[in-house]
Amino acid sequence: MVPILDQSEIPTRFLIISDTYDNVSPHPPASLPNSIDVLIHCGNLTYDSKLAEFTTALALLSSLNTVPLKLIIPGPNDWTLDDAAYEARITEASNTNKKKGGTGALLPRDMEALYAEYGRPGQARQLLLSEKARQHGIFLMANEGRWEFALANHAVLAVGDVQT
C-alpha cells in the first residue's frame, strides 16, 4: 500500500530563472533536468517588451516539454503586458513629440510602426494567456490574486494571496 503523504511532505522541484531579457536560445538547454515540477520566470522576460520577444519566449517555454508547469511573473521591462503602462508610454511619446515642436499627437504612421513592433495594447498579454500557452503549461501571473495548481507529483501549489 502506498502511504498517503501530507501536502507538505511531497517533494517538489522548482527551477527559478529571472531577467532573461530575451537573451535566450530558441532551443531548450540540453542539460535541463527531467524532474522539474515547476519553472518560475521572475521578471524581465523581454529586453524592450517587443511582441517578437514575447513570441520567442513563448516558443522556448513551450518547447520545455519535461516541465509541466511554467509560471511567468512579469518585470518592468515587460510593460506591454500592462495596458495602463502601455498607454503611459504612448502619452510620454506624444509629450516628447510636442516638446520637439510637434502637434503632441503621434501620427497614424507612427502608431502603426509602434504597433508593428510592440503589438497593440493587450496583444502581448493575449499571446501569453492564449490556449496554446495553457496547453504547454504556461501561466502568466500578471494580476494580483490567488492561483492553485495541481502538480503531476500530486502536490497542490498555491501562488499569490495565500491564507495561512
Give residue 75's pLDDT.
Answer: 95
| Burial (CB count <10 Å: 0-12, 13-18, 19+), residue 101 | exposed
Task: Report whether 67 contacts 41 (CB < 8 A).
Answer: no
CA angle, corner 64, sides to 60 and 70, nearest 5?
90
Give residue 58's pLDDT.
Answer: 94
Give residue 16's pLDDT.
Answer: 93
- Of the candidates 128, 117, 73, 75, the residue with the CA atom closest to the CA atom of residue 93: 117
Residue whose C-alpha cell reads 504547454 in the numeric block: 136
3 has pLDDT over 60 = no
Grid coordinates representing 149 are 495548481
- Residues 49-92 pLDDT 10s: 999 999 999 998 998 888 999 999 999 999 999 999 999 998 88
pTM score: 0.85
Give residue 94's pLDDT.
Answer: 79
163 has pLDDT over 70 = no
- Residues 89-119 pLDDT 10s: 988 887 776 667 767 677 788 899 999 999 9
Helices (H), the chain: 51-63, 83-99, 108-118, 123-128, 131-135
- Residues 105-155 pLDDT 10s: 777 888 999 999 999 999 999 999 999 999 999 999 988 889 999 999 999
Give residue 84's pLDDT.
Answer: 95
What is the Cα 99 distance to its own chain's centre?
34
- Of the candidates 82, 75, 20, 86, the residue with the CA atom closest to the CA atom of residue 53: 20
Give residue 26's pLDDT.
Answer: 58
What is the Cα 13 distance to its own chain's centre?
20
